[in-house]
Copies of this chain bind each other. A is one copy, B any other.
């Protein structure tokens, strides 16, 4: 079986880091947190968690370090903790975009056993007090398996994430960011566009805005600096916006020409219903990086890492789920 982690450090105790701290402690792991913001640190300490006085203190002796600070602070944190990271220590992160984090780690800690991660969980709220130990239950968690990623480190993290109830999705930084552009970046851009231009019709429109405006603009409640870190520098988002703009322009032209948007609406309706009604079935996976990445491309995730029995006793067996058509 892959190594399990004896001592875990979580740097950054906002919504995601704070929820990881809670989930790990609840799962019986020895975990220590740190946050430079006194409010987050004391909220976590007040809730009974171990919180270190500095990042080096938190990471000293840790065999897993979870980087859960905002992206703009990640590179400085790598510089600060660098001298305290042992050669065998595994590092992971929770950022939305995986390419910028991978680049920062390669620049600052080129030899590190780093595995980029991205839990697809959260709300439009933020801060330690908004977190929950069950936030990751059944949540997809992208886990980057680059050609140079240490497969044992990746498997150890996959076991840990399954233990937290999450669904590790094998992918790469580049593929993750392209996929995320369409399901995180694009919905945020559309919500901002709706929040802003939807209300440009004046006070009458403001007072008539109801369900569809409310849900369509919900994520415009997110802090704009966070939205920027999820969108900026992601070339996949330019392509996603081009597709959405092209579709909206077709609708606009059909309406301006006196036609009906019915067939366009049918296509959107079908896409949403197909997504909602996907079905999944179990699959047995080889312990092979490219096979795992293909499993992620096919819409699959890992559910368990177990030892084989029978003649191959002691060899690893990966169990997963994937879409069934």
Interface status of A183 (Cβ within 8 A of chain B)? yes
Number of copies: 2
Q: Chain B residues near A180 (CB, 8 Å)?
A: 205, 208
User: Closest chain B residue to A254 by CB distance?
Assistant: B232
Residues 167-196 of A at the B interface (beta carbon under 8 Å): 167, 169, 171, 175-176, 178-184, 186-196
Known A187-B216, A198-B183, A213-B187; contact A241-B255, beta-carbon cutoff 8 A:
yes
B196 near A247: Cβ-Cβ < 8 Å: yes
Residues of chain B lying within 8 A (CB to CB) of residue A182:
197-201, 205
Known: A120-B210, A179-B208, A227-B261. A255 touches B268 (CB 8 A): no
Q: How far is the CA of A175 from the CA of B205 in the complex (A)?
A: 9
Quick check: is A139 within 8 A (CB to CB) of the other chain? Answer: yes
Given A189-B261, A255-B232, A264-B192; A203-B122 close (CB under 8 Å): no
User: What's the minimum C-beta distance from A134 to chain B, rounded to whole angstroms?
Assistant: 15
Docked pose: A261 CA to B185 CA in angstroms: 11
Q: Once the chains bind, are B197 and A261 in contact (CB under 8 Å)?
A: no
Tell whether A218 is near chain B: CB-to-CB under 8 Å.
yes
B139 A193 Cβ-Cβ under 8 A: no
Chain B residues near A193 (CB, 8 Å)? 190, 244, 247-248, 251, 268
